[in-house]
Amino acid sequence: MKVLMLNLFFVTFSFAQAGLLPLPDRAPSPADNPTTRAKVHLGQQLFFDARISATGTYSCNSCHDISSSGENNLRNSRKPDGTFSRHSVPTVWNSAFQNAYFWNGSAASLEDQAEGPLEEMGLGDTGRVVKRIAQIPGYQSAFAKVFPGETPAVSLPHLTKALAAYERTLITPHSPFDRYAKGDAQALDARAKIGLDLFISVGCVTCHGGANFSSAELKRFPLFPGTSYDGEAANYRVPTLRNIEWTAPYFHDGAVATLEGAVDIMARAQLNHPLKPDETAALVAFLKSLTGEPPSQRLPRLPKLSSPFGEN
Amino acid sequence: MKVLMLNLFFVTFSFAQAGLLPLPDRAPSPADNPTTRAKVHLGQQLFFDARISATGTYSCNSCHDISSSGENNLRNSRKPDGTFSRHSVPTVWNSAFQNAYFWNGSAASLEDQAEGPLEEMGLGDTGRVVKRIAQIPGYQSAFAKVFPGETPAVSLPHLTKALAAYERTLITPHSPFDRYAKGDAQALDARAKIGLDLFISVGCVTCHGGANFSSAELKRFPLFPGTSYDGEAANYRVPTLRNIEWTAPYFHDGAVATLEGAVDIMARAQLNHPLKPDETAALVAFLKSLTGEPPSQRLPRLPKLSSPFGEN
């Protein structure tokens, strides 16, 4: 018993000392946008509403798929205006625990982030998105209830606040790593435990830390030559590694199809530490232990349109 | 009491004699595709899975929105290949009770219908849709369970059977008309009752009959001159009038924005019976009594992709 407890203590201590944390059950909310049940519900409706796109077929969920990986597993995504995104879509799962949004880290909060996709809905500017939402009677009353006394009730800041409040609930708990971090020594198998040790010792944890295996700071990539990214160095936000097994293809350009390939490139480009095949396999086993359980949720019902927008 | 019962009897008798029926709670299934819980679940997953489209952003739900009217309230829809549909999208709600699918009635069952949208997913042909689904391990096991002993488990007929089984559950009960038809005389107000009488007496019911206010036969439209459709006569399936309040814009071309406008055109083009404004208002009040309650459902979880498709 004493040995077991010492062992547990040691394990917990080592990854906690390295800065890795289990995923919280709830995300904190900013002082100016407290999470409320009604706001989350409104945000979910907006997230699933394709009426915010020029084509009427794109919602937030079209690219950040809540039924799936929180993204779309594509290199680039065709946008409502027919053009393709330059970068691979990041997952919305656990985005509450990110500190930098978009691949270039140009947004510092979920509220700021939400403006970006709204601008890409093919309606020219976000003003037309707001106008469409304001034209739906059920949204008028819902916004007035969620943001009492603030006029106009339907506004871009209110849209992004509601979307952010919903996104803060998109948390995937109960991954094997989280169960391990909370004391279940059996939650990781031997190979994944070797992978965790490697993750810390070779330096992955330097950038991929905290509860979300991410970082608040932008990082230069690549740092070392010898990969297909030579000569393309730029500063990127650090993507979460949670559910990474489920979010192929990898990197900002979605050019890498497998987790093994991504680990190999990161080890060389960022750590100048080429891995042996069994080390890569152990790291991949550990990374797969970061796959959590998306919460079950009800499909929202969207408020009815009183008359069509008269555009396609 | 005797008066009330007589009145109830008379009312029930009059619309039932005219061929109008309350909406059944469940839809019958064909002998070769019995509805089972596991098949419905699989069909729901497929319905929400955008991986069946070339862009990775279009699922069945993108145009037939289950969070909303079962369609997208647009005149035309941009398809994954960037082109626009010729016709307005019909609602999937209560499609179990249709007998003719597509505006030209070219499919006679939900199973046949499901092939059409799969062909339009921008992947060239349905063979590539099937190949993508077959590449997802969770679907392989689900299809094998739902269609035991039938190889290959993942096939186009199995995809369309699962989709059809799910669609047969998409029923919107508890409309005011249905409550009225089941004996609640207060479920329709005075104007809606006048509208119901008109619906029968002017002849709307001739084509829009049965439980789904539809018909198994194709009908020529327009029959009489004097509307914007002069000179464009063709044979169309009869769309359901259930939830019609929610499915603007109207007609095959989605050219009519309001229910009043649609009623006016139908009265002239099909019945040669121009309506007075109060008659139109009464018919619209009755038609709004056909709005039911979409069932609450859980957002499906989609099986994980083991490796990306490597295409956009």
- Option in A49, A57, A68 nearest B63 (CB): A57
- pLDDT number for residue B277: 98
pTM: 0.92
Q: Amino acid identity of A9?
A: F
Q: Is the pLDDT of residue B184 over 60?
A: yes
How close is the nearest chain B Cα to the Cα of A291, in Å?
11
Asked if B89 reaches chain A (Cβ–Cβ under 8 Å), the answer is no
How close is the nearest chain B Cα to the Cα of A79, in Å?
9
Comparing CA positions, the residue from B208, B218, B214, B247 lying closest to residue B104 is B218
Which of A57, A62, A73, A312 would you mutate first to test chain B, the one with the most B CBs within 10 A? A57
- The pLDDT confidence band at residue B307, using thresholds 50, 70 and 90, is confident
- pLDDT number for residue A310: 61
Q: Is the pLDDT of residue B6 over 70?
A: no
Q: Give the span between the Cα atoms of B224 and B33, in whole angstroms.
A: 41
What average pLDDT does range B77-84 have in this prediction? 86
Q: In angstroms, what CA-CA distances link B192 with A32, A75, B176, B248, B296? A: 47, 53, 10, 20, 27
Residue A123 near residue A54, CB atoms below 8 Å: yes
Which of B49, B91, B312 would you mutate first to test chain A, the one with the most A CBs within 10 A? B312
Comparing CA positions, the residue from A202, A180, A203 lying closest to residue A190 is A180
Tell me the pLDDT tens digit for each residue of A242-267: 999 999 999 999 999 999 999 999 99
- pLDDT number for residue A311: 54
Comparing CA positions, the residue from B179, B209, B203 lying closest to residue B21 is B209
Contact call for B257 and A307, based on CB within 8 A: yes
How close is the nearest chain A Cα to the Cα of B282, in Å?
18
A46 → chain B, closest CA residue: B67
Q: Give the span between the Cα atoms of A132 and A126, in whole angstroms.
A: 10
Contact call for A78 and B312, based on CB within 8 A: yes
Q: In angstroms, what CA-CA distances link B54 with A76, B118, B120, B126, B130? A: 12, 11, 9, 11, 13
Q: Is the pLDDT of residue A6 over 50?
A: no
Residue A294 near residue B303, CB atoms below 8 Å: no
Contact call for B77 and A312, based on CB within 8 A: yes
Q: Which of residues 202-231 of B touch A (CB under 8 A)?
A: none
What average pLDDT does range A156-185 have in this prediction? 97
Among A5-14, A139-148, B114-123, the range of highest mean pLDDT: A139-148
Among B79-83, B105-109, B190-194, the range scoring the smallest mean pLDDT is B79-83
Q: At what angle do helices A156-167 and A137-146 cross, to 10 degrees?
A: 70
* DSSP annotation of A234: E
Write out the H or E segment, with its range, that includes residue A115: helix A110-119
Which structure tokens are listed for A33? Answer: 């946008």
- pLDDT number for residue A159: 98
- Option in A299, A300, A308 nearest B257 (CB): A308
ipTM above 0.95, yes or no: no
- pLDDT number for residue A16: 86
Contact call for A55 and B63, based on CB within 8 A: no
Asked if A261 reaches chain B (Cβ–Cβ under 8 Å), the answer is no
Q: Is A120 among the residues known to form the active site?
A: yes
Residue A77 near residue B55, CB atoms below 8 Å: yes
Tell me the pLDDT tens digit for each residue of A112-131: 999 999 999 999 889 999 99
Asked if B138 reaches chain A (Cβ–Cβ under 8 Å), the answer is no
- Count Cβ atoms below 10 Å from residue A221 Cβ, excluding itself: 20
Q: Which of residues 32-51 of A touch B (CB under 8 A)?
A: 45, 48-51
DSSP-derived 3-state class of residue B203: coil
- Option in B57, B76, B302 nearest A78 (CB): B57
Comparing CA positions, the residue from A184, A188, A239 lying closest to residue A210 is A239
What average pLDDT does range B83-100 have in this prediction? 94
How close is the nearest chain A Cα to the Cα of B83, in Å?
10
Catalytically annotated residue among A71, A115, A119, A120: A120
- pLDDT number for residue A1: 45
* DSSP annotation of B152: S
